[in-house]
Structure formats: C-alpha cells, structure tokens
Amino acid sequence: MEFQNLLIEKDGHIAIVTLNRPEVRNALDPRTWAEIRGAARQCRFDKDVRVVIITGAGGKAFASGADIRSLREREALEALKSEAQESLNDVENLDKPVIAAIDGFALGGGCELALACDIRIATSRSKLGQPEVNLGLIPGAGGTQRLQRVVGIGKAKELIFTGDIISAQEAKEIGLVNKVVEQPEDLLAVAKEMAQKIIAKGPMAISLAKVAINVGTNTDINSGLLFEKFAQTIAFSTEDRIEGTTAFLEKRKADFKGK
C-alpha cells in the first residue's frame, strides 16, 4: 500500500508508525484510517518486526480526532461500513505488541486509536478524551467498548457522557495511560526502551500472551482459562521454550528465534 498520511520506519525490530498530518493535528479521515489498517497488516507480515510504536507528527497531537467536515457530510448508512472500527480491530489483534507514544491531543478517534494499542505512554502536556457527544455523536471506533475495559464502566460512562478532556496525569491515575514522560523530546526514547525490553523476551510467548489476554477480555473467565491452557501448550512446543529454559539453567542470556 502507498502511504500518504503515515510514515513507517524501522529501528531494528521496532516499526515506528507516525501519523503525518500535522497541519490538521493528525485528524483521522477515511484515507488515514485505511492507511492505519494497511500499516497493521504490513507489520503483521514483516517477520523482522517484533514491536510497533504508533505516534503523531508535529508535537501538538497524537491524533485530534475525526475530520469534522467529513462527519457532517457523511450519510447515516455510511457509519455501518466503519472503516475506523475495522482498522482498530486490526491494530488490537496484531500478533505483536503495539505501543502508543502520545504527545499532545488524543481525542475522539485519536483516543480510540490509543485504546486499541496494548500500552500507552504520554507526555505530561498530553490531553485525552472522547468528546463526540459535543457533536451529537458517540465514539464510533470502539470507544464505547474499549474504554470501559481499560478504565472501568463507571469512569468510561463519565468520560463519554460528559465529553470531558483529561490530563495525562489523570489518565495515568485511572489506568488509561501506563506512563507519563515529562519532556516531550524523551517520549520516543522511553517508548523504544520499553519496546526493547519486550523484544528481549520470547516472541512466541509474547504473541501467545497477547492473544490470550485479548480473548480473556472478551469472554468469560472459564473460556479465557481454557484458551490459556491451549496457548501454553503451544508455547511448550516451541524452540524458544527450550532455549529460554536452557539459557536460565546455564545462567546466560537467551537467544530467542521466534520458533
């Protein structure tokens, strides 16, 4: 896929996906949603990529939300097509960890994009929220579902019903953000540092753990536990399990191959 609104670069085993529409605070129009989906698929099939970082260009916004003009002109039935939902499903279900590196506004669809990522790191100047009700709309890219799973149903209802925009520190306090970085220039370095910690672990185990967590989030605990047993059975059949346990016993660093 040819990317016009995204930049994709690789740093070792890390793929860095940058929303690159700073002139409109990285607003999410249909083209950008399609490119996000394309980037997720590209990362899925790139065997060298073990962690993905998604961030925004310009320093003012991770993603400021949807293009309001396009929302006003859209026909009602077009909402059923929901390119945004499909794109974020691909991000959430990517078999590799995805880190959102947030600097500035993450509002509406931008907050929903962050929610679809596995880990969220924000700068202290960042603001997050789901203000769609101010436009007579609701979060439509998974926000009504993912937000409650991250911060709890009561807080999710408060944020969605009021449309409040909260600070990065408050977002951290309620579990919406994992970590807050004081200096914006340190954001990507902190995200890469976390990515490198993940890369040092068994990639098969990381992938299986992510799938098991996602399945458990969307089903009852007994079904989740059963899936965990099957995932662990697969993990036991990998070369990485032999390498990991052998390295531990030999008191050396494991050399995982993802097999």
Active site residues per annotation = 112, 132
Query: Going by DSSP bridges, is the β-strand pair 119-123/98-102 parallel, antiparallel, or unpaired?
Result: parallel
Q: Please tell me the distance from the alpha carbon of residue 44 to that of residue 96, in angstroms, as a whole number.
A: 7
User: Nearest 10 degrees: CA dihedral of 63, 189, 95, 104?
Assistant: -10
Q: Please tell me the distance from the alpha carbon of residue 111 to that of residue 109, in angstroms, as a whole number.
A: 5
Rg (CA), the chain: 19
Q: What is the DSSP letter of 57?
A: S
Instruction: Say whether 86 sits in a helix, a strand or coil.
Output: helix
Is 118 within 8 Å of 176 (Cβ atoms)? no
Q: Please tell me the distance from the alpha carbon of residue 232 to that of residue 240, in angstroms, as a whole number.
A: 12
The residue behind tokens 């690789």 is 10
Q: Please tell me the distance from the alpha carbon of residue 190 to that of residue 258, in angstroms, as a whole number.
A: 25
> Which of 245, 238, 253 is closest to 203 using CA atoms?
238
Ordered DSSP codes for 108-154: THHHHHHHHSSEEEEETT-EEE--GGGGT----SSHHHHHHHHH-HH
The residue behind tokens 């202290």 is 124
